[in-house]
Amino acid sequence: TGGITTIDPGYKNTGSCESAITFLDGEKGILRYRGYSIEELAEKADFLEVCFLLIFGELPTEEQLSKFDKDIKEESQVDEDMKKILDGFPKSAHPMGVLSSLTSALIAFNPGSVDVDSEEEMYGAIVKILAKFPVLAAWTMRKRKSLPLDYGDNSLGYVENLHKMMFAKPNETYVANKIVNEALDKLLILHADHEQNCSTSTVRIVGSSHAGLFASLSAGISALWGPLHGGANQAVIEMLEAIKEDGGDTAKYIAKAKDKNDPFRLMGFGHRVYKNFDPRAKIIKKAADEVLGDLGIEDPVLDIAKGLAEVALKDEYFVQRKLYPNVDFYSGIIYRALGIPTEMFTVMFALGRLPGWIAQWREMRLRKEPIGRPRQIYIGENLRAFKEISER
Ligand code: SDX
Protein backbone atom coordinates (compact mmCIF):
# COMPACT_ATOMS: atom_id res chain seq x y z
CA THR A 1 0.00 0.00 0.00
CA GLY A 2 3.02 2.30 -0.24
CA GLY A 3 2.64 3.35 3.40
CA ILE A 4 -0.88 4.76 2.92
CA THR A 5 -2.92 4.17 6.09
CA THR A 6 -5.95 6.43 5.57
CA ILE A 7 -7.91 7.59 2.52
CA ASP A 8 -10.10 10.66 2.12
CA PRO A 9 -13.16 9.83 -0.07
CA GLY A 10 -14.14 12.86 -2.16
CA TYR A 11 -11.05 14.64 -0.83
CA LYS A 12 -13.25 16.29 1.85
CA ASN A 13 -10.19 17.01 3.97
CA THR A 14 -7.41 17.08 1.37
CA GLY A 15 -5.71 20.15 -0.03
CA SER A 16 -4.45 19.48 -3.57
CA CYS A 17 -2.43 22.64 -4.19
CA GLU A 18 -1.53 26.17 -3.17
CA SER A 19 -3.40 28.78 -5.21
CA ALA A 20 -3.57 32.57 -5.35
CA ILE A 21 -6.68 32.75 -7.51
CA THR A 22 -9.86 32.33 -5.43
CA PHE A 23 -10.51 32.58 -1.69
CA LEU A 24 -13.53 30.87 -0.09
CA ASP A 25 -14.62 30.98 3.52
CA GLY A 26 -17.40 28.38 3.91
CA GLU A 27 -18.36 29.45 7.43
CA LYS A 28 -18.61 33.17 6.66
CA GLY A 29 -19.90 32.79 3.09
CA ILE A 30 -16.99 34.73 1.60
CA LEU A 31 -15.95 34.42 -2.07
CA ARG A 32 -13.14 36.55 -3.56
CA TYR A 33 -11.39 36.44 -6.97
CA ARG A 34 -7.75 37.58 -6.59
CA GLY A 35 -8.77 39.43 -3.39
CA TYR A 36 -11.78 41.27 -4.85
CA SER A 37 -15.18 40.42 -3.31
CA ILE A 38 -17.70 38.71 -5.56
CA GLU A 39 -20.28 41.30 -4.46
CA GLU A 40 -18.15 44.17 -5.83
CA LEU A 41 -17.16 42.37 -9.02
CA ALA A 42 -20.77 41.36 -9.79
CA GLU A 43 -21.83 45.00 -9.44
CA LYS A 44 -18.91 46.94 -10.91
CA ALA A 45 -16.93 44.72 -13.31
CA ASP A 46 -17.79 43.12 -16.61
CA PHE A 47 -17.13 39.50 -17.47
CA LEU A 48 -14.13 40.13 -19.77
CA GLU A 49 -12.43 42.17 -17.02
CA VAL A 50 -13.03 39.30 -14.58
CA CYS A 51 -11.55 36.84 -17.12
CA PHE A 52 -8.39 38.97 -17.26
CA LEU A 53 -8.32 39.36 -13.46
CA LEU A 54 -8.65 35.62 -12.77
CA ILE A 55 -6.13 34.54 -15.42
CA PHE A 56 -3.43 37.22 -14.99
CA GLY A 57 -4.04 38.29 -11.39
CA GLU A 58 -4.80 42.00 -11.77
CA LEU A 59 -7.73 44.10 -12.97
CA PRO A 60 -6.72 45.23 -16.51
CA THR A 61 -5.91 48.82 -17.45
CA GLU A 62 -7.87 50.31 -20.37
CA GLU A 63 -4.99 49.47 -22.68
CA GLN A 64 -4.60 45.88 -21.40
CA LEU A 65 -8.33 45.23 -21.71
CA SER A 66 -8.56 46.55 -25.27
CA LYS A 67 -5.53 44.47 -26.34
CA PHE A 68 -7.06 41.39 -24.65
CA ASP A 69 -10.37 42.06 -26.42
CA LYS A 70 -8.59 42.57 -29.79
CA ASP A 71 -6.46 39.43 -29.42
CA ILE A 72 -9.58 37.40 -28.61
CA LYS A 73 -11.56 38.83 -31.53
CA GLU A 74 -8.75 37.97 -33.92
CA GLU A 75 -9.24 34.32 -32.97
CA SER A 76 -13.03 34.25 -33.14
CA GLN A 77 -13.21 32.24 -36.38
CA VAL A 78 -13.79 28.52 -35.89
CA ASP A 79 -12.58 26.27 -38.70
CA GLU A 80 -15.50 25.51 -41.03
CA ASP A 81 -14.66 21.78 -40.94
CA MET A 82 -15.58 21.76 -37.25
CA LYS A 83 -19.19 21.93 -38.42
CA LYS A 84 -18.87 18.42 -39.87
CA ILE A 85 -18.30 17.21 -36.29
CA LEU A 86 -21.32 19.13 -35.04
CA ASP A 87 -23.41 17.72 -37.91
CA GLY A 88 -22.48 14.21 -36.82
CA PHE A 89 -24.48 14.58 -33.58
CA PRO A 90 -28.21 13.83 -33.36
CA LYS A 91 -30.30 16.91 -32.49
CA SER A 92 -31.20 15.19 -29.23
CA ALA A 93 -27.54 15.03 -28.06
CA HIS A 94 -27.06 16.77 -24.69
CA PRO A 95 -25.25 20.09 -25.27
CA MET A 96 -22.64 19.32 -22.59
CA GLY A 97 -21.57 16.15 -24.42
CA VAL A 98 -21.43 18.05 -27.72
CA LEU A 99 -19.47 20.92 -26.13
CA SER A 100 -16.93 18.60 -24.51
CA SER A 101 -16.42 16.80 -27.85
CA LEU A 102 -16.13 20.00 -29.87
CA THR A 103 -13.64 21.45 -27.35
CA SER A 104 -11.49 18.36 -27.74
CA ALA A 105 -11.91 18.44 -31.53
CA LEU A 106 -10.53 22.01 -31.54
CA ILE A 107 -7.10 20.47 -30.80
CA ALA A 108 -7.00 18.94 -34.28
CA PHE A 109 -7.51 22.40 -35.81
CA ASN A 110 -5.14 24.19 -33.42
CA PRO A 111 -2.26 21.73 -32.88
CA GLY A 112 0.03 24.51 -31.69
CA SER A 113 -2.15 24.98 -28.61
CA VAL A 114 -1.13 21.67 -27.06
CA ASP A 115 2.53 21.70 -26.12
CA VAL A 116 2.67 25.14 -24.54
CA ASP A 117 5.53 25.78 -22.12
CA SER A 118 6.26 29.50 -22.36
CA GLU A 119 3.95 32.25 -21.12
CA GLU A 120 3.46 33.60 -24.62
CA GLU A 121 2.54 30.13 -25.97
CA MET A 122 0.05 29.80 -23.09
CA TYR A 123 -1.34 33.25 -23.88
CA GLY A 124 -1.88 32.16 -27.50
CA ALA A 125 -3.84 29.09 -26.42
CA ILE A 126 -5.81 31.10 -23.85
CA VAL A 127 -7.07 33.78 -26.25
CA LYS A 128 -7.91 31.08 -28.80
CA ILE A 129 -10.18 29.19 -26.42
CA LEU A 130 -11.72 32.34 -24.92
CA ALA A 131 -12.68 33.30 -28.50
CA LYS A 132 -13.84 29.93 -29.81
CA PHE A 133 -15.59 28.48 -26.76
CA PRO A 134 -18.60 30.85 -26.90
CA VAL A 135 -18.96 30.03 -30.61
CA LEU A 136 -19.06 26.30 -29.86
CA ALA A 137 -21.43 26.83 -26.91
CA ALA A 138 -23.80 28.85 -29.11
CA TRP A 139 -23.55 26.12 -31.79
CA THR A 140 -24.91 23.57 -29.31
CA MET A 141 -28.04 25.65 -28.85
CA ARG A 142 -28.53 26.43 -32.56
CA LYS A 143 -28.24 22.71 -33.32
CA ARG A 144 -31.00 21.77 -30.87
CA LYS A 145 -33.27 24.49 -32.20
CA SER A 146 -32.52 23.63 -35.86
CA LEU A 147 -31.33 27.18 -36.41
CA PRO A 148 -28.50 28.03 -38.82
CA LEU A 149 -25.21 28.80 -37.03
CA ASP A 150 -24.54 32.48 -36.36
CA TYR A 151 -21.04 33.92 -36.93
CA GLY A 152 -21.32 36.63 -34.29
CA ASP A 153 -20.28 40.24 -34.69
CA ASN A 154 -16.89 41.51 -33.52
CA SER A 155 -18.24 45.02 -33.07
CA LEU A 156 -20.21 43.70 -30.05
CA GLY A 157 -18.86 43.10 -26.54
CA TYR A 158 -17.90 39.61 -25.42
CA VAL A 159 -21.19 38.75 -23.68
CA GLU A 160 -23.36 40.62 -26.20
CA ASN A 161 -21.71 38.63 -28.98
CA LEU A 162 -22.36 35.38 -27.14
CA HIS A 163 -26.01 36.34 -26.81
CA LYS A 164 -26.19 37.23 -30.51
CA MET A 165 -24.68 33.89 -31.57
CA MET A 166 -27.23 32.11 -29.39
CA PHE A 167 -30.36 34.08 -30.23
CA ALA A 168 -29.98 36.08 -33.48
CA LYS A 169 -32.65 35.13 -36.01
CA PRO A 170 -31.34 34.58 -39.56
CA ASN A 171 -33.85 36.95 -41.12
CA GLU A 172 -33.84 39.73 -38.52
CA THR A 173 -31.37 42.41 -37.44
CA TYR A 174 -30.01 41.53 -34.02
CA VAL A 175 -30.86 44.14 -31.38
CA ALA A 176 -28.99 43.80 -28.07
CA ASN A 177 -31.12 44.01 -24.92
CA LYS A 178 -29.29 45.84 -22.10
CA ILE A 179 -31.19 44.15 -19.26
CA VAL A 180 -30.60 40.69 -20.70
CA ASN A 181 -26.90 41.25 -21.38
CA GLU A 182 -26.28 42.76 -17.94
CA ALA A 183 -28.00 39.78 -16.30
CA LEU A 184 -25.97 37.36 -18.42
CA ASP A 185 -22.74 39.22 -17.63
CA LYS A 186 -23.46 39.08 -13.88
CA LEU A 187 -24.29 35.35 -13.98
CA LEU A 188 -21.09 34.55 -15.87
CA ILE A 189 -19.05 36.54 -13.31
CA LEU A 190 -20.70 34.68 -10.43
CA HIS A 191 -19.76 31.32 -11.98
CA ALA A 192 -16.23 32.30 -13.04
CA ASP A 193 -14.19 30.38 -10.44
CA HIS A 194 -14.61 28.47 -7.23
CA GLU A 195 -11.19 27.15 -6.11
CA GLN A 196 -10.71 23.35 -6.22
CA ASN A 197 -14.25 22.12 -7.07
CA CYS A 198 -14.74 18.84 -8.94
CA SER A 199 -14.42 20.19 -12.50
CA THR A 200 -11.49 22.49 -11.69
CA SER A 201 -9.66 19.63 -9.98
CA THR A 202 -10.31 17.63 -13.15
CA VAL A 203 -8.84 20.39 -15.33
CA ARG A 204 -5.78 20.54 -13.06
CA ILE A 205 -5.13 16.81 -12.95
CA VAL A 206 -5.56 16.33 -16.72
CA GLY A 207 -3.39 19.41 -17.29
CA SER A 208 -0.76 18.03 -14.91
CA SER A 209 0.07 15.33 -17.49
CA HIS A 210 0.75 18.18 -20.00
CA ALA A 211 -2.16 17.01 -22.18
CA GLY A 212 -2.72 20.66 -23.10
CA LEU A 213 -5.34 23.31 -22.25
CA PHE A 214 -8.11 22.23 -24.63
CA ALA A 215 -7.97 18.57 -23.56
CA SER A 216 -8.00 19.63 -19.90
CA LEU A 217 -11.05 21.86 -20.50
CA SER A 218 -12.85 19.09 -22.38
CA ALA A 219 -12.41 16.88 -19.30
CA GLY A 220 -13.57 19.69 -17.00
CA ILE A 221 -16.76 20.11 -19.06
CA SER A 222 -17.54 16.43 -18.59
CA ALA A 223 -17.02 16.69 -14.83
CA LEU A 224 -19.24 19.77 -14.62
CA TRP A 225 -22.04 17.93 -16.46
CA GLY A 226 -22.87 15.72 -13.46
CA PRO A 227 -26.10 16.58 -11.54
CA LEU A 228 -24.17 16.72 -8.26
CA HIS A 229 -22.07 19.56 -9.75
CA GLY A 230 -22.90 22.00 -12.55
CA GLY A 231 -25.66 19.77 -13.89
CA ALA A 232 -27.63 20.69 -10.76
CA ASN A 233 -28.90 23.92 -12.35
CA GLN A 234 -30.81 21.89 -14.95
CA ALA A 235 -31.95 19.39 -12.28
CA VAL A 236 -33.27 22.25 -10.08
CA ILE A 237 -35.65 23.51 -12.76
CA GLU A 238 -36.76 19.95 -13.58
CA MET A 239 -37.46 19.45 -9.84
CA LEU A 240 -39.35 22.76 -9.53
CA GLU A 241 -41.39 21.93 -12.65
CA ALA A 242 -42.26 18.53 -11.14
CA ILE A 243 -43.39 20.23 -7.92
CA LYS A 244 -45.49 22.67 -9.96
CA GLU A 245 -47.08 19.75 -11.86
CA ASP A 246 -47.69 18.13 -8.49
CA GLY A 247 -49.84 21.08 -7.40
CA GLY A 248 -46.95 22.89 -5.67
CA ASP A 249 -46.74 20.25 -2.96
CA THR A 250 -43.30 21.26 -1.58
CA ALA A 251 -43.85 19.31 1.68
CA LYS A 252 -43.91 16.04 -0.30
CA TYR A 253 -40.51 16.81 -1.90
CA ILE A 254 -38.97 17.96 1.37
CA ALA A 255 -40.08 14.63 2.89
CA LYS A 256 -38.60 12.72 -0.08
CA ALA A 257 -35.28 14.60 0.31
CA LYS A 258 -35.16 13.60 3.99
CA ASP A 259 -36.10 9.97 3.39
CA LYS A 260 -32.91 7.88 3.56
CA ASN A 261 -34.54 5.22 1.40
CA ASP A 262 -35.35 7.71 -1.32
CA PRO A 263 -32.42 8.67 -3.59
CA PHE A 264 -34.13 12.03 -4.30
CA ARG A 265 -32.10 15.07 -3.21
CA LEU A 266 -33.22 18.69 -3.05
CA MET A 267 -31.28 19.87 -6.09
CA GLY A 268 -29.61 23.25 -5.67
CA PHE A 269 -29.30 22.65 -1.94
CA GLY A 270 -26.16 21.88 0.05
CA HIS A 271 -22.51 22.53 -0.59
CA ARG A 272 -19.20 20.92 0.29
CA VAL A 273 -17.69 24.21 1.48
CA TYR A 274 -20.47 26.70 2.27
CA LYS A 275 -22.02 25.77 5.61
CA ASN A 276 -24.01 28.96 6.15
CA PHE A 277 -24.99 30.35 2.79
CA ASP A 278 -23.60 30.51 -0.74
CA PRO A 279 -22.92 34.21 -1.38
CA ARG A 280 -23.61 33.67 -5.05
CA ALA A 281 -27.10 32.30 -4.30
CA LYS A 282 -27.88 35.48 -2.37
CA ILE A 283 -26.87 37.72 -5.29
CA ILE A 284 -28.65 35.52 -7.86
CA LYS A 285 -31.87 35.39 -5.84
CA LYS A 286 -31.94 39.22 -5.75
CA ALA A 287 -31.06 39.40 -9.46
CA ALA A 288 -33.88 36.96 -10.29
CA ASP A 289 -36.45 39.32 -8.78
CA GLU A 290 -34.89 42.31 -10.60
CA VAL A 291 -34.53 40.66 -14.02
CA LEU A 292 -38.02 39.10 -14.01
CA GLY A 293 -39.41 42.45 -12.83
CA ASP A 294 -37.54 44.42 -15.52
CA LEU A 295 -38.62 41.94 -18.20
CA GLY A 296 -42.19 41.87 -16.86
CA ILE A 297 -42.10 38.10 -16.41
CA GLU A 298 -44.16 36.25 -13.80
CA ASP A 299 -42.69 32.78 -13.25
CA PRO A 300 -44.59 30.56 -10.79
CA VAL A 301 -41.48 28.42 -10.53
CA LEU A 302 -39.67 31.29 -8.76
CA ASP A 303 -42.39 31.36 -6.11
CA ILE A 304 -42.13 27.60 -5.70
CA ALA A 305 -38.34 27.95 -5.30
CA LYS A 306 -38.75 30.61 -2.64
CA GLY A 307 -41.41 28.57 -0.84
CA LEU A 308 -39.24 25.45 -0.93
CA ALA A 309 -36.22 27.33 0.45
CA GLU A 310 -38.28 28.90 3.22
CA VAL A 311 -39.58 25.53 4.44
CA ALA A 312 -36.24 23.75 4.10
CA LEU A 313 -34.33 26.47 5.95
CA LYS A 314 -36.56 25.93 8.98
CA ASP A 315 -36.47 22.14 8.81
CA GLU A 316 -34.26 20.37 11.37
CA TYR A 317 -32.90 17.90 8.77
CA PHE A 318 -31.49 20.72 6.60
CA VAL A 319 -30.46 22.97 9.50
CA GLN A 320 -28.60 20.14 11.25
CA ARG A 321 -26.72 19.27 8.03
CA LYS A 322 -26.14 22.94 7.21
CA LEU A 323 -27.84 22.65 3.84
CA TYR A 324 -28.64 25.96 2.12
CA PRO A 325 -29.47 27.06 -1.42
CA ASN A 326 -26.33 27.03 -3.57
CA VAL A 327 -25.38 28.83 -6.78
CA ASP A 328 -27.57 26.46 -8.83
CA PHE A 329 -30.79 26.97 -6.90
CA TYR A 330 -31.97 30.25 -8.46
CA SER A 331 -29.73 30.60 -11.53
CA GLY A 332 -32.00 28.53 -13.78
CA ILE A 333 -34.88 30.90 -13.12
CA ILE A 334 -32.94 33.77 -14.67
CA TYR A 335 -31.71 31.63 -17.57
CA ARG A 336 -35.36 30.70 -18.24
CA ALA A 337 -36.39 34.34 -18.18
CA LEU A 338 -33.63 35.02 -20.72
CA GLY A 339 -35.15 32.40 -23.01
CA ILE A 340 -32.34 29.86 -22.51
CA PRO A 341 -33.58 26.25 -22.79
CA THR A 342 -33.18 24.09 -19.65
CA GLU A 343 -30.73 21.67 -21.25
CA MET A 344 -28.45 24.65 -21.99
CA PHE A 345 -28.16 25.74 -18.34
CA THR A 346 -25.02 23.76 -17.61
CA VAL A 347 -23.44 25.09 -20.83
CA MET A 348 -24.03 28.57 -19.35
CA PHE A 349 -22.25 27.41 -16.19
CA ALA A 350 -19.33 26.18 -18.32
CA LEU A 351 -19.18 29.54 -20.16
CA GLY A 352 -18.88 31.28 -16.80
CA ARG A 353 -16.35 28.81 -15.40
CA LEU A 354 -14.09 28.94 -18.46
CA PRO A 355 -11.78 31.73 -17.14
CA GLY A 356 -11.50 29.99 -13.77
CA TRP A 357 -10.52 26.70 -15.38
CA ILE A 358 -7.99 28.55 -17.57
CA ALA A 359 -6.55 30.48 -14.61
CA GLN A 360 -6.16 27.34 -12.51
CA TRP A 361 -4.58 25.40 -15.43
CA ARG A 362 -2.13 28.28 -16.10
CA GLU A 363 -1.21 28.56 -12.39
CA MET A 364 -0.63 24.79 -12.19
CA ARG A 365 1.61 24.86 -15.29
CA LEU A 366 3.56 28.00 -14.29
CA ARG A 367 4.19 26.55 -10.84
CA LYS A 368 5.45 23.38 -12.56
CA GLU A 369 3.17 21.19 -10.38
CA PRO A 370 3.98 17.44 -10.60
CA ILE A 371 1.67 15.03 -12.42
CA GLY A 372 -1.31 14.13 -10.23
CA ARG A 373 -1.03 10.52 -9.10
CA PRO A 374 -2.61 9.63 -5.70
CA ARG A 375 -2.11 6.21 -4.01
CA GLN A 376 -4.68 3.73 -2.56
CA ILE A 377 -5.26 1.11 0.08
CA TYR A 378 -5.52 -2.27 -1.69
CA ILE A 379 -8.46 -4.40 -0.49
CA GLY A 380 -8.52 -7.00 -3.26
CA GLU A 381 -7.42 -10.67 -3.51
CA ASN A 382 -4.04 -11.94 -2.39
CA LEU A 383 -1.76 -13.74 -4.86
CA ARG A 384 -3.52 -16.70 -6.56
CA ALA A 385 -2.56 -19.15 -9.36
CA PHE A 386 -4.18 -18.99 -12.83
CA LYS A 387 -7.01 -21.55 -13.49
CA GLU A 388 -7.69 -23.05 -16.91
CA ILE A 389 -11.23 -22.34 -18.06
CA SER A 390 -12.09 -26.02 -17.75
CA GLU A 391 -11.35 -25.76 -14.01
CA ARG A 392 -13.41 -22.58 -13.31
C1 SDX B 1 -21.85 23.12 -7.44
O2 SDX B 1 -17.59 22.36 -5.00
C3 SDX B 1 -18.03 23.48 -5.55
O4 SDX B 1 -17.59 24.57 -5.27
C5 SDX B 1 -19.15 23.27 -6.56
C6 SDX B 1 -19.79 24.54 -7.07
C7 SDX B 1 -18.84 25.36 -7.94
O8 SDX B 1 -19.03 26.57 -8.04
O9 SDX B 1 -17.95 24.72 -8.59
O10 SDX B 1 -20.22 25.35 -5.99
C11 SDX B 1 -21.00 24.25 -7.96
O12 SDX B 1 -21.63 22.00 -7.85
C13 SDX B 1 -22.87 23.39 -6.38
C14 SDX B 1 -23.57 22.08 -5.85
C15 SDX B 1 -24.64 21.65 -6.87
N16 SDX B 1 -25.15 20.32 -6.51
C17 SDX B 1 -26.43 20.18 -6.02
O18 SDX B 1 -27.17 21.12 -5.75
C19 SDX B 1 -26.85 18.73 -5.84
C20 SDX B 1 -27.54 18.56 -4.47
N21 SDX B 1 -26.51 18.73 -3.44
C22 SDX B 1 -25.87 17.56 -2.93
O23 SDX B 1 -25.79 16.45 -3.73
C24 SDX B 1 -24.68 17.84 -2.01
O25 SDX B 1 -25.09 18.79 -1.11
C26 SDX B 1 -23.37 18.26 -2.63
C27 SDX B 1 -22.96 17.34 -3.72
C28 SDX B 1 -23.45 19.63 -3.14
C29 SDX B 1 -22.32 18.21 -1.51
O30 SDX B 1 -22.18 16.90 -1.12
P31 SDX B 1 -21.22 16.45 0.10
O32 SDX B 1 -20.44 17.61 0.62
O33 SDX B 1 -20.50 15.23 -0.36
O34 SDX B 1 -22.25 16.11 1.25
P35 SDX B 1 -22.93 14.69 1.44
O36 SDX B 1 -23.44 14.19 0.13
O37 SDX B 1 -21.99 13.84 2.22
O38 SDX B 1 -24.21 15.06 2.36
C39 SDX B 1 -24.07 15.25 3.77
C40 SDX B 1 -25.44 14.95 4.35
C41 SDX B 1 -25.97 13.56 3.91
O42 SDX B 1 -26.90 13.15 4.89
P43 SDX B 1 -26.38 12.07 6.03
O44 SDX B 1 -25.85 10.88 5.23
O45 SDX B 1 -25.32 12.83 6.82
O46 SDX B 1 -27.64 11.76 6.81
O47 SDX B 1 -26.40 15.89 3.84
C48 SDX B 1 -27.35 15.20 3.01
C49 SDX B 1 -26.75 13.87 2.65
O50 SDX B 1 -27.76 12.90 2.40
N51 SDX B 1 -27.57 16.04 1.84
C52 SDX B 1 -28.74 16.25 1.26
C53 SDX B 1 -28.49 17.15 0.23
N54 SDX B 1 -27.18 17.47 0.19
C55 SDX B 1 -26.61 16.77 1.20
N56 SDX B 1 -29.96 15.75 1.51
C57 SDX B 1 -30.96 16.19 0.70
N58 SDX B 1 -30.82 17.07 -0.32
C59 SDX B 1 -29.58 17.56 -0.59
N60 SDX B 1 -29.40 18.42 -1.58
Q: pLDDT tens, 346-361?
A: 999 999 999 999 999 9
**ipTM, two decimals:** 0.97
Task: Judge whether 286 and 294 are in contact, CB under 8 Å.
Answer: no
Q: Which atom belonging to ligand 1 lies closest to the Cα atom of 200?
A: 9
Q: Which atom belonging to ligand 1 lies closest to the Cα atom of 278?
A: 10
- Burial 60-87, CB ≥16 within 10 A → b, else e: beeeebeebbebbbebbebeeebeebbe
Q: Nearest CA to 158 among 47, 23, 65, 305?
A: 47
Atom 9 of ligand 1, residue of closest alpha carbon:
197
Instruction: Please tell me the predicted confidence (pLDDT) of residue 262.
Output: 96
d(CA 168, CA 157) in angstroms, rounded, equals 15
Q: Which residues pair with 108 in a beta bridge?
A: none
d(CA 280, CA 97) in angstroms, rounded, equals 26
Instruction: Please tell me the predicted confidence (pLDDT) of residue 30.
Output: 97
Helices (H) and strands (E) in the chain, counts: 17, 3
Instruction: Please tell me the predicted confidence (pLDDT) of residue 179.
Output: 93
> Ligand 1 pocket test: which of 273, 323, 353, 354 has the largest number of ligand atoms within 8 Å of its C-beta?
323
- Residues identified as active-site: 271, 328
272 lines ligand 1 (CB under 6 A): yes
What are the pLDDT tens digits along the chain (392 aa)?
A: 578 999 999 999 999 999 999 999 999 999 999 999 999 999 999 999 999 999 999 999 999 999 999 999 999 999 999 999 999 999 999 999 999 999 999 999 999 889 899 999 999 999 999 999 999 999 999 999 999 999 999 999 999 999 999 999 999 999 999 999 999 999 999 999 999 999 999 999 999 999 999 999 999 999 999 999 999 999 999 999 999 999 999 999 999 999 999 999 999 999 999 999 999 999 999 999 999 999 999 999 999 999 999 999 999 999 999 999 999 999 999 999 999 999 999 999 999 999 999 999 999 999 999 999 999 999 999 999 999 999 99
**Angle at CA 21, nearest 5°, toward 48 and 39?**
60
Q: Which atom belonging to ligand 1 lies closest to the Cα atom of 321?
A: 47
Instruction: Please tell me the predicted confidence (pLDDT) of residue 1.
Output: 59
d(CA 220, CA 178) in angstroms, rounded, equals 31
